[in-house]
Structure formats: C-alpha cells, structure tokens
Amino acid sequence: MRVLLCPDKFAGTLPAPEVAAAVADGWRSVADGDDLLIRPLADGGPGFVEVLADALDGRRVSVRTVDPLGRPAAGEILLTADGATAYLESAQACGLHLLATAERDPKATTSYGLGLLVAAAVESGARTVVIGLGGSATNDAGAGMLAALGVTPLDAAGAALPYGGAALAAVAALEGAPRLRGVRLVAATDVDNPLLGLHGASNVFGPQKGADWADVLLLDAALERFAGVLEQALPGCPAGLGTLPGGGAAGGIGAAILALGGGCESGIGLVTRATGLDTALDTADLVITGEGSFDHQSLRGKVVAGVAGAARDRGVPCVVVAGQVSTGRREAASAGVTDAYSLVEHFGGEEGGGLAAALSRPAEG
C-alpha cells in the first residue's frame, strides 16, 4: 500500500514535518511493509518557510526583526538558488504564537517586523518576494509593514501615528514612498476574506486575536479609513481595496500588498507545486492529512481542503488527523474527507482530560 502523509502544522504544538514524522512512526508500527511518501505542507501561515526550505534548493538567511509588540525576534528569508525569489512568512514577526494570552490586543499590535523581513528580502537582490500570510496577531492592514518600508501613516496635523490598528482611525495621509526597488510582492494565502465588512479581517479574525465586539467595530472603521487613504496616496493601489478577495489575510496585510501593486497566490497551491504533491497524489492508495483544529475554516482554502479535494478528484480516500475535530461528517465528506480522527477524543479517557493530553503529547497520539 502506498500512503501519502501530507499534514499541515498542529498550531502551537508541532510543525508540519514533525506531525508527518509522528504519523509515519505510528503507521510503521502496525504496517511496516507499506510505502510511505512524506510531504509536509503549509498554506502561508506558520511553517511556510520551513516546508519550502525542505522542498526547494535554496538558502535560509537569518534576519533580525521585531514581534507584534516591538520586541526583538528572530526571522529568516529563504532565497532560491539563483537569488531571484525570496520567501518569508508574516508569522515569524506578527505571529499570534509570539504573544502571551494577556498580551493579545489587535488595537495595538503591529506588522512593522514583517516590513523588516520584506526590506531584507529586497536588499538581498531578489526580484520577487513571496510573503506567506497567516497566524497573525495584528489587525493594522499592514500599516506597520508599510512604515518599515518607508511609508508613514500621518494624522491630520501631520504627526506620525502610533502603531496598531486602532490608531488608523485618525489616519489622514501618507508620507514617503515604498522602498521596494521595483520588486514584485506576492501574498501567499488561502484566505479569501476582504479587508472590510462582515466577512472582513476585523469581524472574522479579530476575536481570535483578543478583540471584543467594541474593538471589532472600532477596527473595521479604522481600516475602512486607512483603505481610503491608501487608494488616494499609492499610485499602484487598485480601486475598491476594502472589498478585494484576500485583502483581509493576516489582519489586512493582504490589502497592503495589493495596495503596493502586488498580487495574491494560493499558498497551498504554491507549496503543492514546490513539494511535488500532485505527482505523489497520482500514485497514492491512501492520503493522510491534518491540522491542529479541523473546523469550518479548514474547508475554506486551507491545507486540508486542498488535499482532500485533490484526493477526491483522483478517487483516493483521504483521512484527516487533527487535535480537535468540529466539522460535521457530511460537510467533511462533501469536501473529499473520508474520515477524521481527533487526538482529544483519543486521549479522552485519560486522567487530566483529552484536550490537555492532546496539547502536551500530540506526537504520541
């Protein structure tokens, strides 16, 4: 039997390569004669660079950056062998995992650190910079990133605004020009949410980052004001920025990339091509994928949805392993998922509760 193991990360516990290795160990313990193909995946969020580094013949370069509260953080860029393309991920500078629960406040967190990573990629000589978006703690529509690239948001008096999404309620103009040296930016994301509105960055993702209902309303209004300023001030900014698909990715960083004349590309599609997943799917008898939480968002362009759909198109069964499973069986089946297994349920009978065991010992599950 030829089994393809292609999971995403288990957020907060295991990166995708370790998830794949753990599943492989478990499978070999009961069916050692099977042929296992291991292809860890990512969709633009945490682990994007690590997964691509394993698949591409490139060079990883360490970069000093800052976290969502401005504290020193370690980041990196991945350069292709010819140096023409650089890959980086927003989560290394803006990631929710970089903050303690009490520190999560999207009114104040900034994407400035991502701007430092982009600047390093530009200075490396790359002509295309691909930015993996996902898992962010920010909701500033990339205002911090723009500031690091030389574009400063100002209030009506001409003073530079503080960092964070809430401050954008007072934005009136921009100062400076983006220092991109003609580099093309690409947002790698499988989130199709727009920047604004009921399905926008603030409403959908703000509560996950610490926003209450009043914060959501404030942030959505602030980003609407900022989008208007971006449209007026940046020559390459498309009209209707607040409504464009993908603009809401990573707290609106997608919109900032679009405003700079960049484009959006499917993160899972990009990783699929780099890892040769399509070829592996063509020869598989069974596919095993997974992520930390298999829920309603999983079927909206995430790794699991992409893998399950591709397996279904080939008539290959697809099994999901996850920390938690809350997606309905019928909904999952319609996306191509044959069955789903939860670590929380697996550990459910143990003392201390299934969730605690699943979080502390995910590889054992």
Predicted local distance difference test score (pLDDT) of residue 107 = 98
DSSP 141: T
Q: Which residues, other chains included, contact 26 with Cβ-Cβ below 8 Å and sequence gap of 6+? A: none
pTM of the complete model: 0.89
Which one is predicted more confidently, 45 or 219?
219
**CATH code that applies to domain 2-39+276-360:** 3.40.50.10350
pLDDT tens digits, residue range 302-338? 789 889 999 999 999 999 999 999 888 888 899 899 9
Predicted local distance difference test score (pLDDT) of residue 327 = 86
Mean pLDDT rounded to a whole number for the chain: 93
pLDDT tens digits, residue range 185-219? 999 998 899 999 999 999 999 999 999 999 999 99
Distance CA 278, CA 153 (A): 44
Q: Picking from 45-49, 126-130, 153-157, which range would have the lowest pLDDT averaged per residue?
A: 45-49
To which residue do tokens 């679009």 refer?
258
Q: What percent of the chain shows pLDDT beyond 70?
A: 96
> What is the rounded average pLDDT of the residues 77-91?
97
* CB-based contact 153:119 (threshold 8 Å): no
Distance CA 284, CA 239 (A): 45
Q: Where does the chain show beta strands of DSSP type E?
A: 2-5, 35-38, 58-66, 72-80, 85-89, 128-132, 152-154, 173-175, 184-188, 263-265, 286-294, 318-325, 339-342
Measured at the CA of 161, the angle between CA 211 and CA 208, to 5 degrees, comes to: 15
Predicted local distance difference test score (pLDDT) of residue 283 = 95
**CATH code that applies to domain 48-267:** 3.90.1510.10
Which one is predicted more confidently, 300 or 64?
64
Instruction: For the chain, give every domain's residue range.
Output: 2-39+276-360, 48-267
Which one is predicted more confidently, 357 or 32?
32
Predicted local distance difference test score (pLDDT) of residue 353 = 60
Distance CA 19, CA 289 (A): 10
Using 50, 70 and 90 to split pLDDT, how confident is the model at 357?
low
**251 pLDDT exceeds 60?**
yes
Distance CA 116, CA 62 (A): 12
Predicted local distance difference test score (pLDDT) of residue 57 = 84
Q: Which residues, other chains included, contact 95 with Cβ-Cβ below 8 Å and sequence gap of 6+? A: 46, 67, 68, 135, 136, 137
Q: What percent of the chain shows pLDDT beyond 90?
A: 80
